[in-house]
Amino acid sequence: MTMSRPRPCRPAGSVYRPCGPERAAWDPDTAENGVVRYGRAVQRLEMIAERCQRVSGLWDEAPPLIGAYAFGHVLDGPDQLDAVQVALVLNHPAEELTWCARPTSCSGLPHLLELEKAPVEWYWRPAVWPVSNHVIVRPLRIWSPDGIDAVALGALASRAAEPLRLPPPDPRQEDEQLDVELAASLAYLRRVEDRYWDREWRAEHRGSGIYPESHLWDAVHGYLDLHDAVRARRDASGSS
C-alpha cells in the first residue's frame, strides 16, 4: 500500500528542523532551483556514510549510532529529487526515541555527521525497532558498525540498488509494530505534557535554538502522524 508523504515537521526553508524529518539548509553547490541532481545525491550519501564511520570512532564504548539507511525517491534513480532522505539508527531507549521525538543527548549528532550542509532529511530510529515504518519504506543500508557499505553505494550510483534494499515487512507484523509505536508515542506525549511547566525539565530541554515548545510540538506531530498512518491502514483493510 502506498502511503502519502508525511507532513513536514517544520516550515519549508528552516535551517534546523529537529524531529523527523530534520532537514538541512539548501546548499547552492548541491541544489539547483530547489532540486538535487541524482549524481550529487549519491555523493552526499557517500559523504554521510564516511562521516558515520569517522564519528563512530569517537566513543570509547559502544557508539550511539549503529546504522544509516538511504530511502525514498533516491532509491528510484530519478534524474533529480527534492532532498536526500536518511534514517539513522541509534542505540537509544525506544520510549525516548518515539517517532519525531528528539533526545537532548543526541542533539549534537547532526553537526558531527555534517547533515546540515546539504539538502538532507534525516530521521531517527531506535535500534530495538525495525528501521522501516510507514515513511521509511524498504531502505538501503549504507553504513553499519562493520563499515561503509560500498556495494550498496556502488549499486545506488548505477541505479541498481533494488535487490539490496530491505524486504517489505509482513503486513500483520507491520500493523502490530505501528500499534506499538503509536502507544509509545502517546505515552511520550503524555510525559512531555506532564512535565512541560517543570522548571528543571524546561532547562534541560532548551539550547542550540531548541525550546521546550519544540519538544511538545514534535511529540504532538509524531503521535498524530502515526495515528493517521494506523487509521489509513485500517480503513484500507476494512477493519475498525
Model pLDDT for residues 156-200, shown as the tens digit of each residue: 999 999 999 999 999 999 999 999 999 999 999 999 999 999 999
Q: Which three cell numbers mark 189?
A: 506525549
Model confidence at 32, in pLDDT bands (50, 70, 90)?
low
Dump pLDDT digits (tens) for 47-98: 999 999 999 988 778 889 999 999 999 999 999 999 999 999 999 999 999 9
Dump pLDDT digits (tens) for 108-144: 888 889 887 768 999 999 999 999 999 999 999 999 9
Nearest to 118 by CA among 31, 6, 21: 31
What is the per-residue pLDDT for 58? Answer: 86
Q: Does domain 22-237 have CATH number 2.170.190.11?
A: no
pLDDT over 70 (residue 46): yes
As a whole number, mean pLDDT of residues 232-236 equals 90
Find the distance separating the first CA and the last CA of the chain, reported in whole Å.
Answer: 18
